[in-house]
Amino acid sequence: MMSILLVLALVIAIVAVIFALQNTAAVTVSFFFWQFHESLALVLLLTVILGVLIGILTILPGSIRSKLRISSQRKKVDALEKALQAEKLQREDAVRQLELLKNPPVSEPGSQQPSGETQAAVPPIPLPPA
């Protein structure tokens, strides 16, 4: 894409040089109370440059606003992705804890339970659909 723009700019520059070489006649330009006596090519070249500058200044505020909005949206997306990752980790931890509650570790046959503690039967809790 960049090479196409470069070739296009080069073609426009060549056309502008040919135009300037062929239009060297002096013209008088009147603007309010000023009068200029310059070559036609210089007057037209200055007019084109002024038009390009006005066009750039017209587009610039909207372009800056769009870039700021895009930057703000990227920051929001990053924050939401971090929050989503944290929620996934929390969900995985909760599922692991639920599995431990559903299937408690089996004690070895020769081991005794500490005195005063009784093992309560935990009813199975249904898993939410994923």
Residue 73 in domain: yes
What's residue 38's pLDDT?
Answer: 87
Is the whole-model pTM more than 0.85? no
What's residue 64's pLDDT?
Answer: 94
Q: What is the pLDDT of residues 30-56, one digit of tens each?
A: 888 889 888 888 888 888 889 889 989
Spatial distance between the Cα atoms of 42 and 51, rounded to a whole number of angstroms: 14
Q: Report the relative pairing of strands 26-31 and 34-39 from DSSP bridges.
A: antiparallel
Domain count, the chain: 1
Supply the range of the domain harboring residue 58. Answer: 11-99
Residue 91 in domain: yes
Four-point Cα dihedral 29, 34, 35, 38, nearest 10 = -70
Looking at the predicted structure, is the pLDDT value of residue 117 above 60?
no
Spatial distance between the Cα atoms of 51 and 26, rounded to a whole number of angstroms: 22
Lowest-confidence segment of 21-30, 66-75, 109-118 by average pLDDT: 109-118
Looking at the predicted structure, is the pLDDT value of residue 125 above 60?
yes
Residue 117 in domain: no
